Structure 1
């Protein structure tokens, strides 16, 4: 039996419509071939979450966001379809999280411990992953205060006779200021950090903040030491001071170079997170700076004329 062209066209059109429907449903987060449970939650802000984004448990996808509706109170009612063979405890938290360095969003289920299971149509508790900016903001707030201290220190550096050390120290001060400004720029692009990546960045930021805090809190002592550097009779103390400042200079310069590349579009935040040498150098420089400032406080007489502090120091 011969099939007419009209029949063939009709069949193809029907198949095309079915495929279009299936594809459209999939993009909306609906799977027409499976039986899913529907759950809901509400968010005050969705931070880039859209329908069809995955729902994950420990990185494994168990469903998709199917619908989002802005309500009259400004909150966003979010619907997600979860494969019916997964049991979801009633006290599970549906948290908006970032899944990569580009800021892609997903719902991550933090599975509860309740023996009572959520039923189809139930509302779950909601949450949003903390913004990485909250971790970096304390550094940004200190930029102006630290810069004032650094400018004061630079004015004293000009009196140091050792030209090479003078130049190195100036570069270190300048690098810290530049690095802080670079951090202010790249934080807009690293909100997607999660897990180990986020922890590593926090440790890098903590080391940088420790260094800048020491410059800020001990500015007067550092100025006094710089003014008296060539008169320090304890050669070991002078060498320790110069060695620490040189190490700080090298570590901060490396940090500035990498953050500068990221800001100019020549690399991603991965450059910062995966540079083992930079991570170790910043960590070591931070520790040595802490130890140096502790020694200066405990034994000021090793580094500076006693009259500067207005009291008799330890010899």
Structure 2
């Protein structure tokens, strides 16, 4: 059988409404699919919330369903559900207690030893755990004391703050605000001046930045060239050359080779010194007696001869 689109749409709407109702009641603590029995009790004040636990010997067997304040009696009427598998006497007591330090208040079923079983809708008597009311009262008392102390501190703080605001001396808030305002004005003027300088030198700053960029690029190229030039190998070669030079200088220092003998041989030095002296004497003699060394004649006349002392030697031929 083919189902039409209208029927499908109706089913989807009905399912949506059911899910909405179920979810809304579930969030309120009511599960419409459960068949738990509902019971009632009342207290002089409300210390519960919806969905608070209902326990038997510490084990959860139900939860609070609704809380209503009865204006006529001045009491808080509480309805709660219990698993229908739990059987207990209608003379049992519903105790309001606190399970733990960080837990919310809960209800506990204190069984009565008889066979008069409670039925759905029965009203059960209640009690409050001993000390719970005192704790609540003490908490409110402590809260009141702390609040009073806090208000006194706040009043003192406001008085001191008011005195600080109205103080017109050098240490007062007014004077401090005035100085701060003056400082801000000076800083504002300084900012304007800096902006003016920057605006006037905009082109120069741009040129400086361009130059800095160019220098950075040149340094990058130089670094690349040095890297490609294998500077470490050049340094190694230079170290080898310096080692050879040191070895050569050591051999010269030891008098080895021609240069070493030239520097270390005293006889060679003396001979060179004597030769230099004779050269000097020869040059001196050439200055004093140039005719001994230079002979010039236009008619082919035989030049005169001189002895070692500079005397003319007569020619007998």
TM-score tier, shorter chain, comes to 0.3 to 0.5
Q: TM-score, normalised by structure 2?
A: 0.39
Q: TM-score, normalised by structure 1?
A: 0.39
State the structure with more CA Rg: 2
- The structure showing larger relative contact order (alpha-carbon pairs under 8 Å, at least 6 residues apart) is 1
